[in-house]
Amino acid sequence: MLHLRMITPRDRTETVVELLRTTVGTAHLAVLAGAARDPEGDVVMCDVAREAADDLIGELRGLGLPADGCITVENIDLSLSERADQAEIDAPGEGVDAVLWDSLTDATHEESRLSVTYLAFLTLATMLAACGVMLDSEILIVGAMVVGPEFGPLAGVCTGLVRRAWWLAWRSLGALLVGFPLAMVATGVFGMVMDVTGVFSEEQYHAPHPATEFIWQPDLSSFVVALLAGVAGILSLTSSKSGALVGVAISVTTVPAAANAALALSYGDLGETWGSAVQLGVNIAGILLAGTVTLLAQKAFWARQRAKRPAVSG
């Protein structure tokens, strides 16, 4: 269940209350007349089954509440109520499958900002991956994958395309196009400094790296893994199963590929640079394709669920 709290202009309160009363999947309606001071109005609250929330929020937006009042949505961790149980039963579909499009847009909006923090995490992850390549350490490679923040902008591109929020798609794409080159340049400089100080060496770089050689050897399996990771990542965002994102981060070698491309270029190994760049491109393309298709499938599924939904609750 989700908890909705709204500030409504007084002339729209009755319309909002009637909408909440006649929406399948709602419970615990409460009205605090005149309670709001900035902006002035009434405070209306209710609980709603997650699977019914997206349509309801859309109708509330249509009443102009974001402009003249507000809509706040919170997750309810525990609700001991037979009315809430019945609301979840009445609402078609399963809550865990439901997509809150406004929530998804807001989340990817925040995660796709080209901020100092985003660039710092991406750069540190790429440098950590470079250390993993030089030491042939799978543990460091996995650590770099977890630290990397690149899935946020990737999800932002997918969300922007499906919702036709072009500003979000372009900004997310910009975060990728600016972030990865900057991180790779910084990693190349980092590698040269480490080489000059004797921590890295060209002999160490050219030594066999059986544990990490997959990073610069793209093949069809790389694309398949990227597709699967893209589906899993989007599902983890839309279903609030955020823990699954860790598995997605570990499965796709975007950051390690960028790191190895930077190292290879600094040592003049153009073949390995190209292989790593192709690996990076294949993985990004696979995630974007799978993520976009997954969102389109979810959109179509919930359109069918919406068509089945009765207009008025019992």
Q: What is the pLDDT along the chain (314 residues), one digit of tens a residue?
A: 899 999 999 999 999 999 999 988 899 999 999 999 999 999 999 999 988 888 899 899 999 999 999 999 998 888 888 988 888 888 876 766 677 888 888 878 778 888 999 999 999 999 999 999 999 888 898 888 888 888 889 999 999 999 999 999 999 999 999 999 999 999 999 999 999 998 888 888 888 888 787 788 788 888 998 898 888 888 888 876 555 555 556 557 789 999 999 999 989 889 889 999 999 999 999 999 999 999 999 888 877 766 665 544 44
At 202, list the tokens.
Answer: 């060209």
Asked if residue 35 lies in contact with residue 56, where contact means CB atoms within 8 angstroms, the answer is: no
User: 215 exposed, middle or buried (CB, 10 Å; 0-12, 13-18, 19+)?
Assistant: buried
pLDDT at 249: 61
Helical ranges in 136-219 per DSSP H: 138-147, 151-163, 166-196, 202-206
pLDDT at 313: 42
pLDDT at 175: 94
- The SS3 of residue 219 is coil
How many whole angstroms separate alpha carbon 259 and alpha carbon 275? 12
CA 176 to chain centre: 14
